[in-house]
Structure 1
Amino acid sequence: MDSSKPQKTIVVGAGVIGSAIAYELQKRGHSVTLVDRDAPGNGASYGNMGSIAVTEFMPVARASTWKQIPGWLVNPKGPIRASPTYMPRLIPWFVRFLASSRPSVVQRLEAAGAALCERSLEDTRALLAELGMAEHLSSAGCLSLYASDQEYEADRERIDLLDRFGFDYELLDSKAIRALEPEITDNISKAILLPDNRTVADPNKLVLGLFQGFRGLGGTFRTAEVTGFERSDRINGVLLGDGDFVHADQVILSAGAFTARLSKLLNEPMPLETERGYHTQIMAPGIELTHSIIWPAKAFMVSPTAGGIRVGGTVEMAGLDAPPDYRRAKITVHRAREALPKLEVQDFAEWMGHRPAFPDTIPVMSASVKTAGVFYATGHGHLGLTHAATCARLMSDLVTGVKPAIDLEPYRVDRF
């Protein structure tokens, strides 16, 4: 490669992760083409809960989760649903999930998750300032709700994790809760205020802001599906569904839950599944909410975002091709009304998207071990928006040969 010429780089996937990487690399002098079969931000990033959830790095793969999974799976309203017809294809993924729940592995995963999350708020704040969108980040945090001492103790594992890694929180009694959010039911006896878990005013507008920033720096966007790759001793470029070929010195695959289909074309399969997530966006909620709220025992979240109130939660394992089951969205709205009894469901829309999930709960941010010049950035699960700014910096360091601010060994693509 001629180092005197701008590196030609293709980023596949125009969600929040891909758009952030494309923006950062274009800013660093690369000639970047961003490719997506859809409009920027129209995938999982569109339905994000809008939370910079810096405290939510506890790996799902752990012994306490395994004890609950059988009950969850037989409960049609439980926080996890696996499609019976898709279940056979999930067996290898669940075997890896089980292997990741060994205590020694869990400790490494906790540290890897915390290393990303402890940087996320400051990196997001800096990115928004660059884009002229600083006001899009809330000053209010998140409230984690508990209706009883038993619920609080059931969440002790997560709270202890915050202590261990030094993340801020404050325990509130019922009076303090309602001083912050009067609409929360009197049945909530205590809460934890997570002051650094901020909310973005509209996650889709953030992606569009990244995209506009990228285009303003001279970046190129192609609406097309990637159908193949050309490579010799390294990557040469990508083949598009319209028959075109685009040359590249580097290719970053950040297509969310669809990245595994692309990596297979490079003979580099990865155990990436979709945790299908649902939300209900309510534009006439009849209440005002300043903080986002979560209720761990009920497995839902409510965020004041996108001009209204967004209710989401639960996980559905049913693959990339099954139609949505909007009963999942209705379950979370019902539970949200237990916390917010005056919540009205008027002028609303239901949505389903594909969160990309690895069995050990942490992302892949890695160079390919099979093809020089190929990089992966995927598997951020519920934390795509949370990790986006940090991931963009780390991946851009990796691509440009700068030593990343943290050790990227835990996020290698060949760790499985």
Structure 2
Amino acid sequence: MVTVVVGAGIIGTAIAHDLQQRGRQVVLVDRETPGMGASFGNMASIAVTEFMPASRPSVWRQIPGWMLDPEGPVRVRPAYMPRLLPWFLRFIAASRPSRLRELEAQGAALSARALDDTLALLRETGLEDQISEQGCLSLYADEAEFRADREHIGMLERFGLAHEVIGRQALRALEPEIGDGIGMAVLLPQNRSMKDPYRLVLALADRFAAMGGRIERGEVAGFVRGEGIREVALKDGRLLAADEVVVCAGAHSAGLARMLDEPIPLETERGYHTQIMAPGIALRHSLIWPARAFMVTPTAGGIRVGGTVEMAGLDAPPDYRRSRITVKRAQVALPALRCEDFTEWMGHRPALPDTVPILSASARTKGLFYATGHGHLGLTHAATTARLMGDLITGARPPLDLHPYRVNRF
């Protein structure tokens, strides 16, 4: 039984590793080498608490104002607006209160497993030392900002997620570099961070290959089907024989799904980061400031600053003003932070309008599966996705009901 996994980011590499371990003969194929897409530049967070649907009214009602603000947390390039409209209408449709509660529960079901599954995968691969012991601090300038984030705090309480409200003095004891403009925080102890998420993908790919898995570099041009999947065609003319195919190519999954006559409403949320190798400060925890829409993580040998969302499709050139905005905001929270010896990066997060990923067999083609649309939570849900998809593909019973994550729910 040959399984071709299309997409060698953290999701695809984890799935390929899981299936090879279960005895499948797996080929992992990507246009780039493993980990060079969104997995290269993510914010390195196992963000257990961050599954709230983006489609909630408190978010979309602010979008018009954000779009008028050149430094707002969401930016839509004007030329891309007509293409985005169908996706945005589905986004609004996912904001009904009853639907939001369903989506929260579906996100929570994945996130409840995320840390334990990640730790298990790290133990299995000998990478236990690659995850931090510290959690994340959610920052607030004052009580008013904290109250404005009550929706998120209420969700933590509703799902029983560990959190602790701490005042200014306790916050400074945890992270002395945080400036006087921050009055309080919420400690999220389960939101641990990876020391280098790109190296995690490389390590998984190496272990996959050592177990007999095959890695091919090439761009998928099409699929050969009969009663089911037969081959994956690459642009250079090669054909990869396949009894099964798993599409998990991140934001590029939408184009592949169209080739398979199974279109999905997947967009790219373009994310930016600045990796600072000479920051002049040290941090133990990752930081988020909800009101300013950015995150800071000690990772990859330095400090990474990222955040904000840009909707502009797969082909528009990067606008690195987005990354400079987040650095400027980070320096408000961390006054001593220097931006020296740095690189800027842009990548594509795969975004579905209801914020819940697709983890599903095809509704049209035998032997075809999808694992995509994880948005900001690709690293968070990678180990869990690999376990669930491994069960689904091999005919075992997954520990979660995967019906809510079906490909044809739209």
The normalised TM-score by structure 1 is 0.98
| SS of structure 1 residue aligned to 2:215 | strand
In the other structure, the counterpart of 1:342 is: 336
AA in 2 matched with 1:291: H
Distance in structure 2 (CA, Å) of the matches to 1:130 and 1:414: 34
CA distance in 1, matches of 2:359, 2:251: 14
Q: What residue is the counterpart of 2:280 in the other structure?
A: 286
SS in structure 2 at match of 1:60: coil
Report whether the alignment pairs 1:58 with 2:52. Answer: yes
Deviation at 1:158, TM superposition (A): 0.5
3-state DSSP class of the match of 1:179? helix
Is residue 241 of structure 1 aligned with residue 235 of structure 2? Answer: yes
State which of 202, 210, 214 in structure 1 corresponds to 2:208: 214
Amino acid corresponding to residue 274 of structure 1 in structure 2? T
**1:170 partner letter:** E
SS in 2 for 1:70: helix
Are 2:141 and 1:147 aligned? yes
How far apart, in 1, do the equivalents of 2:245 and 2:126 lie? 28
**Is 1:203 the equivalent of 2:197?**
yes
Runs of 4+ with deviation above 6 angstroms? none
How do 1:266-415 residues align onto structure 2 when only pairs under 5 Å count? 266-415=260-409
Give 2:218's aligned residue: 224
Identity of matched residues, %: 63
Deviations 1:331-359 (A, max 9, x none): 00000000000001110000000000000
Query: Given residue 199 of structure 2, which amino acid in structure 1 is its aligned partner?
Result: K
| In structure 2, C-alpha distance between the alignment counterparts of 1:361 and 1:73, rounded to whole Å | 20
Of residues 209, 233, 246 in structure 2, which corresponds to 1:252?
Answer: 246
Q: TM-score, normalised by structure 2?
A: 1.00
Corresponding position of 2:16: 22
1:66 Cα deviation from its structure 2 partner: 2.0
Please, which of 59, 78, 91 is the counterpart of residue 84 of structure 1?
78
List per-residue Cα deviations over 1:25-62 (Å, max 9, x = no partner): 00000000000010100000000110000000100101
Q: 1:246, CA displacement in angstroms?
A: 1.0
Give the aligned partner of residue 70 of structure 1.
64
RMSD: 0.5
1:179-238 superposed Cα distances (whole Å, 9 cap, x missing partner)? 000000112111000000001000000000110110011000110011010111111121
SS at match of 2:27: strand
The one-letter amino acid paired with 2:361 is A
Counterpart for residue 187 of structure 2: 193
**Cα separation, 1, equivalents of 2:188 and 2:373:** 24
Corresponding position of 1:4 = none
Q: Distance in 2 between matches of 1:374 and 1:101?
A: 30
Whole-angstrom distance in 2 between the partners of 1:144 and 1:157: 14
What secondary structure sits across from 1:86 in the alignment? helix
1:105 corresponds to 2:99:
yes
- Name the aligned partner's letter for residue 293 of structure 2: A
Return the alpha-carbon distance in structure 1 between the equivalents of residues 259 and 60 of structure 2.
33
CA deviations over 1:8-37 (Å, ceiling 9, x no partner):
000000000000000000000000000001
Letter in 1 for 2:303: I
CA distance in 1, matches of 2:390, 2:205: 16
Residue in 1 that maps onto 2:165: 171
- Provide the rounded CA distance (Å) in 1 between the counterparts of 2:310 and 2:223: 32
Gaps of 5+ in 1: 1-6
Q: Which residue of 1 aligns with 2:32?
A: 38
Give the secondary structure class of the aligned counterpart of 1:279.
strand
Partner amino acid, structure 2, of 1:122: D
CA distance in 2, matches of 1:170, 1:185: 20
Give the counterpart letter for 2:313 in structure 1.
Answer: G
* Residue aligned with 2:40, SS: helix
CA–CA distance in 2 between the matches of 1:237 and 1:341? 55
Which whole-Å deviations, capped at 9, do the CAs of 1:231-284 have from their partners, x for residues lacking one? Answer: 111111211111111111100000000001001011000000000000000000
Unaligned runs of 5+ in 2: none
Partner of 1:3: none
